[in-house]
Amino acid sequence: RTRGTDVNIAISQKTKLYKSGKKTVLDLFCAAGDFDADKAVSAVNEACDAGYDKCLARHVKAWNVKFKDTWVDFDENPAIVQGFNFGQMHLNMAVDSVWTQTGVPIKGLTGHGYRFAVFWDMDFHMFPYYLYTKPDFAKLILQYRYGQIDKYRENAARWNAKGVQVPWETQNDGREVTAPWLCLQEREIHISADASYMFKLYDDITGDHDAMVEMGAEFIMETGRFYISRIRWSDKNRRYELPDIGCPDQYHTFADNNFFISVLAAWNIRYAIELAQDPQYKGAVRKIGLDDAELSEWRKIIGNFYVPKPGRNGIIEEFDGYFKLSEDLGGISELYCSHSQAVKQPDVLAGFAYFEDEYSLDIRRRNYRFYVDKTIHGSSLSLPGNAFCGARCGLNDEALYYLGRSCRMDLDDVNLDTERGVHMSGYAVQWFAVVNGFGGLTLKKDAVCLSYNLPRQWSKLDYSFYWKGQHIFIQIDSNGINVLSDKGNKIKIPVVYKRKKYLLAPGKKIKLRK
């Protein structure tokens, strides 16, 4: 029984020693008992009686079922494919219906690094992966966040803010557990919008609208209220700004107007206003006591809120004053970098992920080239992030380079920290780099959009995903894209390719030429 949380853990173990020809074999069986010691014992007895070969066959069968939804097939170098699949295995292992209280810690349950805490890695990096491949698990993540909403209200109040402030790091009980000396508890505030965006994505892509009515609307309006309470009027610039934040890039903790945070905060406030005006959410509006006067204040603020824009050369300044920092990255290390333009992971590129349509390909490419040169990869998030962003910009050679390095991160222990647990978020972003980047997939509320972007080094790429509860399979080769709808699907799927719309019936296939 765990000390703080009173949870029963039941694991039993049994060995079997026998002769097989000239060999003496020792088999070791182990079973976890669904929190119940008797069940653990009977499971291990049953496994021992069945024997090793039968257990192995069952194991393979069970994994094939799990992998079916997340399987991706591409003909990269085997070491990279191996690393990619290793990651998929961990993403599959990290979720189960028993884990509603834990969220998805950044190391899964594989190591003590970061004390099993949940960060934005779950909301921003891993959630979309589960949404596309295992929507039921995605809903559990929403329930986990919503289940802690009262603690998040208390968290906002700790900093004299209003509404809901999601802690930068939390565990089972929703309390903030980030080490105070990092000065991030009150500054790493994008996580509230990262969490809210999950509810929108889930609503758009699954069509299961209950989650928005029962949880999402309240959550989004409350995080919108939180940002409003953090925004300040600048007399100097005659606009509303978001000062005193910690950049997600992790090397600039005391900054103003960070692009990533402001772009997400702006989305959050606008979406909160939209929901508040929609009669179907009036229960949530009443519950949080949002009245017309407060709403019109929100409108006034968002109408004149500053989000950094591309400059004349197309580059977006990550935060106020970033361009004036030292460009000399020689000798830069984690402990010596805040005076420079070095970033652990590039915020501006991450900011494009949800708002790609608002920035032209040319702007995204220019920012990609600028910021990958500033990235010193102190985090496991930067390699797959660069792969994803590069592939979405059609810069496939660069993207492949980053994907390869990312896929080997744990198997080769690149950052010398795998002993503290594997890098779960990187695995999810690898999937996105392959499927959304090279696979050309964009899921929208009203359609599945595809484009052709197979790397010249690959001859094929197969993957599958869920949209509105329908399972869809994609096969790409040098001729084009085949889109297959599972036989068990119920509705016709709108597929958009080269600006043309197709309707794909259950069990049918369409061929899209390159």
Query: Which residue stretch of 114-122, 303-311, 334-342, 429-437 sits at the interface with ligand IFM (rule: CB under 6 A)?
Result: 114-122
First-residue to last-residue Cα distance in the chain? 58
CB of 248 to ligand IFM, least distance (A): 6
Question: Rounded distance, CA 395 to CA 366, Å?
Answer: 11
Residues 381-400 that bind ligand IFM (CB under 6 A): 381
Question: Rounded distance, CA 284 to CA 288, Å?
Answer: 6
CB of 415 to ligand IFM, least distance (A): 11
Q: Confirm if 107 and 87 have CB atoms less than 8 A apart.
A: no
Strand locations in 209-299 (E): 232-234, 239-241
Mark residues 88-107: x for contact with ligand IFM by CB under 6 A, - for none.
------------------x-
Q: Which of 165, 379, 406, 464 binds ligand IFM (CB under 6 A)?
A: 379
Mark residues 31-70: x for contact with ligand IFM by CB under 6 A, - for none.
----------------------------------------
CB of 121 to ligand IFM, least distance (A): 5
CB of 382 to ligand IFM, least distance (A): 9
Tokens 């647990």 identify what position?
Answer: 421
Nearer to ligand IFM, 222 or 249 (CB): 249
CB of 164 to ligand IFM, least distance (A): 20
Distance of CA 276 to the CA centre of its chain: 26
Q: Confirm if 436 and 460 have CB atoms less than 8 A apart.
A: no
CA distances from 192 to 47, 85, 340, 363, 475 (A): 45, 31, 28, 27, 37
Nearer to ligand IFM, 334 or 397 (CB): 334
Q: Which of 76, 121, 194, 222 binds ligand IFM (CB under 6 A)?
A: 121
Query: Which residue stretch of 33-41, 116-124, 136-144, 270-278 sits at the interface with ligand IFM (rule: CB under 6 A)?
Result: 116-124
Token digits for 111?
């190591």
Residue 315's φ and ψ, nearest 5 degrees, are -85, 135
Nearer to ligand IFM, 316 or 381 (CB): 381
Nearer to ligand IFM, 206 or 406 (CB): 406
CB of 494 to ligand IFM, least distance (A): 36
Query: Which residue stretch of 30-38, 119-127, 312-320, 489-497 sits at the interface with ligand IFM (rule: CB under 6 A)?
Result: 119-127
CB of 343 to ligand IFM, least distance (A): 11
CB of 410 to ligand IFM, least distance (A): 13
Considering CB under 6 A, how many residues would be counted as binding ligand IFM?
A: 9
CA distances from 214 to 185, 270, 469 (A): 28, 20, 19
Nearer to ligand IFM, 260 or 298 (CB): 260
Residues contacting 392, CB < 8 A, separation 6+? 352, 356, 364, 436, 437
Token digits for 15?
């060995």
CB of 347 to ligand IFM, least distance (A): 10
**Counting contacts by CB under 6 A, is residue 120 touching ligand IFM?**
yes
CA distances from 196 to 191, 426, 474 (A): 9, 21, 30
Q: What is the 3-state secondary structure (H, E, C) of 67-117?
A: HHCCCCEECCCHHHHHHHHHHHHHHHHHCCHHHCCCCCCEEEECCCHHHHC
Residues 249-268 that bind ligand IFM (CB under 6 A): 250
CB of 297 to ligand IFM, least distance (A): 32
CA distances from 365 to 26, 65, 371 (A): 57, 39, 10
Query: Which residue stretch of 42-50, 117-125, 401-409, 476-484 sits at the interface with ligand IFM (rule: CB under 6 A)?
Result: 117-125
Nearer to ligand IFM, 43 or 349 (CB): 349
Q: HSE on the CB side for 294, CA within 13 Å?
A: 20
Residues contacting 149, CB < 8 A, separation 6+? 164, 218, 219, 222
CB of 424 to ligand IFM, least distance (A): 8
Mark residues 214-253: x for contact with ligand IFM by CB under 6 A, - for none.
----------------------------------x-x---
Q: What residues line the site for ligand IFM (CB under 6 A)?
A: 106, 119-121, 248, 250, 379, 381, 425
